[in-house]
Structure 1
């Protein structure tokens, strides 16, 4: 039997006796915990008062063998009486006995220590100065002795109340993978749960220096390499991965190990999904494909972001969309003086208002129903609100649809962006962030070319008027409307097949909150006219995503390959040929330059086929003849 097996067997054999002891001890302390608050408060006051008396008697017995004179006893008892009075009065004044801090916590210990020190530094010198019959050692030694007794009582209380609850008969045996801060939180939550659904059999961690670590009595049973062996020896069915910042490759490896050996993997969500960075048992969830695609830690400088958002009037176009609504959510948390949400979809505006404010009345002027194609209506909005900052997220984004209807892509992504830029400049907007896409790099589609033109228009306004106008380019975001994850899940729910364009097609992925956080950061560090390119990590094969979602569903579903669509690339790129990304102040953001495009050079009135070909690169542009006449002078005035 090797060392790990001995530890596992030892833990299994000692578990029943430990549980009985814990149960008995738990019953004893529960009687105290269930007492009314007033009684518990009385216990604390009484214990602290007794601590002074015990400390005095112990010192006088050791130092003077209880042989003080009557006069010395008088001054000594007077000293202790005043010390207790100050202790009790001060304790209530500082709310120590009113539940200011948890009993036995560091915060409570600090307040108790400060109060005891105050008593020692005041009463001792006063008594020594008033009479020669006061033993000086009492003033020096008794206060720290009393503090030790106070702390000792609280320590015993914490030890008793830290007893974990008895797991129910149907509790699932689990191993906790990860013994860091998150692992500690999970273990304590499980142990303190009134009706634990999990029974912790042990912990494992890849850090070998933690091999002797115990968390609330739970032992370390090995490293990640021992996962399967330990799981079999302790008869567990689930593994809780308690590493909130676990990299994708580690999650992938652990999931594969668990899946191959009939174990279920439960995930602690990333910090961005937790309230205040704190774990809750309700937040634990089964492993899903998003854990492999969006778990990178994103570090942002909130002070630099707040510098151009906090206290300012901010307008978000396309605020009802996936990116726009998350941008609105993150901007709202930064405290703008006013947040204007603009969209052409009234239902989307209703949803985002409900999300941000908990109401959906749509009766305030910060909810703006307007199309960015309508220059006059847009101009009125900008003149009324006079925003300082604009995040332009409104766009048409579905590549195959725009291949069929290029005129719509032109009217929204090109003319719409030109309208927003023009109105922003005329209204005195100081910061403008245009949301772009990786399809604008080496553009081969209507979507990519129209967004590329939007980048160039933004650069022109930045250079022409020396304004902090820039674009941010990134790839696919997880969970957005119409994203590949939604499509695949819908196909799986219908029983398949799941359709993928090509077995080798790859895409970049990032979660919506991650992307928006970096968009805000890019807006703070970018220079006028820059195109800020977000580091999207490694590209992912779409067929791998499809197969993993199918595996999660537990269904037998086929994958059908349909072939690349018109204008679609096998592999997306973040930089066009000839673009060399320059490092920025943020490690996950690069910058490139694009040639500015004067709005006056855009086709006037109904665009000619050759004009559109030169800008959009489309052979089929017949539908563009439907584009309405537009007053270009308004766009460049």
Structure 2
């Protein structure tokens, strides 16, 4: 009822306005000396005037718009509607043979346009004023906007219109020297990024908004590192490729996270070749409920496969990813399968029923400390499981098999890393055994994956600390889950068979620096508010991760973020015998010894 009431009120107001405009135009045209015949003509023409303008106003949706969010689009709609109304009114008067002086049409048009536009403008500001009064008890927060570009202008405009009582803009920051000390939307550009600490202190800034969705992530990282020690709330916008033009809104802001600090520039994919091997194909993903596996499933569904098989041994994780994808794509092309890669008979049943064209093998035991105390479990899942699913893919005619590996497989010091390198060798041998194209993709840590350091730090921060770091010099490579998954798809399109592809992980990050940044982004100071505790290396851990062994060469590929490192040739018969020997192991030490025979560079960093 409220909506219809406002629309009816606007129609009534326009009718009154147009009646006044009609006769006032006569007054202007004849300087107040109006002959009776013209008054009679205008009275007869009034129904046509009202109908013409109301039809065009209604057709431009000027009675169904939300005027609280009015902008240039609404101004354009008023101009189009008034112009259309004037033209329609003129045509009607010519048809019925009751033409008014031509100047009357022009004066009526100008007065109607101005009156309707001014009325909508007053309505817009009346609504804003009412909303501001309703929030008059809110504390006003001094805000500094970093980025005097399009996004910054939109954010500033929205704050001034809808959040004036809760936020006050003290100024802009921009590195463009030509913009310094200029005004944008009535707000001054106060300096460059190096001036942020001074401006925050001078103006008592409590919130910093980074409104630079299209710049390189290296710039964002630098700005966040400047802002982090200032104990302000830091908000940022998503990347430009995640925004639609009309979505640069306060509601799209989110607090700066460590993911923003470590994020990298958007990946450019060769979508044509990816489409060729995924579109219209049956795709199976093992470990589909895991961090990487589930994201691969999301990426695959965007390429419109004929069918996607979500395979995993954990029913809850498979249920969750199946529910998520079904809500977006329906259930016709998505099949959840509860199965383990350790059970060859079960795998043969799945492959025999669905005949997948492409297999992404993401299932693995990956927790380093857990696998150190039960190495046989790592062998059964990572080695035998990989052999089972790779064999099934070959026997049932899969076109491509892509295995997800890890940087911990390089010169391993852990059971998990050693078993993943053995799995790489298994996949390499399979490429010489079956016509299937077998590919391995190796990368480092992914942000937010299960068991990674960032969720651990978040839990420790929530508990008030301390944050635990194994060694001050420990470094790791990081990339986001979507980035890793997209590059896996790209590598799958590039592989000819037998390659190990390495993803460009960027620069390694010190875990100590990561801990300090997370503490600062939470509004605290390291060691003063939240302590950092050094715990020492855990069994199987390295100080530094590697992406290449000394014996591997690397070469560039067509994609700037993917490199190729062919594995040395492996005697398939010898490898089969060594893997079979695991079944005769009576204790963990014997498992370790066989791993060392297969991988001479495997040197455990502790005694079992």
Contact 2:372 2:539 in 1 (8 A): no
Rate the CA distance shift 1:68–1:174 in 2: closer, same or farther, 3 A. closer
Rate the CA distance shift 1:123–1:88 in 2: closer, same or farther, 3 A. closer
| Residue matched to 1:213 | 183
String of CA shifts for 1:117-155, please: whole Å, max 9, x gaps.
Answer: 555555545644764955445567754664454334334
| Residue matched to 1:268 | 236
Asked if 1:168 corresponds to 2:137, the answer is: yes
Contact 2:180 2:191 in 1 (8 A): no
Deviation at 1:377, TM superposition (A): 0.2
| Residue matched to 2:365 | 396
Rate the CA distance shift 1:532–1:143 in 2: closer, same or farther, 3 A. farther
Rate the CA distance shift 1:272–1:85 in 2: closer, same or farther, 3 A. closer
Asked if 1:151 corresponds to 2:151, the answer is: no
Q: Which moved more, 1:535-544 or 1:445-454?
A: 445-454
In structure 2, distance between residues paired with 1:46 and 1:303: 57
Rate the CA distance shift 1:274–1:41 in 2: closer, same or farther, 3 A. same
Contact 2:288 2:294 in 1 (8 A): yes
In structure 1, distance between residues paired with 2:562 and 2:600: 29
Deviation at 1:541, TM superposition (A): 1.4
In structure 1, distance between residues paired with 2:23 and 2:110: 14
1:603 to 545, 563, 576: 576
Asked if 1:616 corresponds to 2:599, the answer is: yes
2:290 to 321, 327, 333: 321
| Residue matched to 1:507 | 476
Contact 1:582 1:592 in 2 (8 A): no
| Residue matched to 1:385 | 354
TM-score w.r.t. structure 2 length? 0.77
- Number of residues of Structure 1 aligned to a counterpart in Structure 2: 580
Q: Which moved more, 1:531-540 or 1:489-498?
A: 489-498
Deviation at 1:507, TM superposition (A): 1.4
In structure 2, distance between residues paired with 1:574 and 1:45: 73
| Residue matched to 1:31 | none
In structure 2, distance between residues paired with 1:117 and 1:256: 53
Rate the CA distance shift 1:559–1:340 in 2: closer, same or farther, 3 A. same
What secondary structure, in the 3-state scheme, does the structure 2 residue paired with 1:154 have?
Answer: helix
Q: Which moved more, 1:475-484 or 1:206-215?
A: 206-215
In structure 2, distance between residues paired with 1:193 and 1:79: 43
Rate the CA distance shift 1:53–1:601 in 2: closer, same or farther, 3 A. farther
Asked if 1:498 corresponds to 2:468, the answer is: yes
Contact 1:372 1:420 in 2 (8 A): yes
Contact 1:531 1:593 in 2 (8 A): yes
What secondary structure, in the 3-state scheme, does the structure 2 residue paired with 1:607 have?
Answer: helix
In structure 1, distance between residues paired with 2:12 and 2:411: 78
Q: Which moved more, 1:546-555 or 1:320-329?
A: 546-555
Rate the CA distance shift 1:367–1:572 in 2: closer, same or farther, 3 A. same
Asked if 1:473 corresponds to 2:442, the answer is: yes
Asked if 1:533 corresponds to 2:502, the answer is: yes
Deviation at 1:476, TM superposition (A): 0.6
| Residue matched to 1:36 | 2
2:385 to 410, 416, 420: 416
Q: Which moved more, 1:182-191 or 1:536-545?
A: 182-191
Contact 1:500 1:543 in 2 (8 A): no
| RMSD, aligned α-carbons | 4.6
2:52 to 75, 80, 86: 86
Deviation at 1:511, TM superposition (A): 2.3
Contact 1:400 1:566 in 2 (8 A): yes
Rate the CA distance shift 1:321–1:532 in 2: closer, same or farther, 3 A. same
String of CA shifts for 1:240-286, please: whole Å, max 9, x gaps.
Answer: 334446666655655555565x5424222534998869467677565
Rate the CA distance shift 1:384–1:113 in 2: closer, same or farther, 3 A. farther
Deviation at 1:109, TM superposition (A): 4.6
Asked if 1:560 corresponds to 2:534, the answer is: yes
In structure 2, distance between residues paired with 1:459 and 1:313: 23
What secondary structure, in the 3-state scheme, does the structure 2 residue paired with 1:342 have?
Answer: strand
Deviation at 1:302, TM superposition (A): 6.5
What secondary structure, in the 3-state scheme, does the structure 2 residue paired with 1:470 have?
Answer: strand
Contact 1:459 1:595 in 2 (8 A): no
What are structure 1's unaligned runs of at least 5 residues?
Answer: 1-34, 622-637
Deviation at 1:318, TM superposition (A): 0.9
Q: Which moved more, 1:232-241 or 1:66-75?
A: 66-75
Contact 1:312 1:337 in 2 (8 A): yes
In structure 2, distance between residues paired with 1:620 and 1:537: 26
Deviation at 1:523, TM superposition (A): 3.9
What secondary structure, in the 3-state scheme, does the structure 1 residue paired with 2:143 have?
Answer: strand
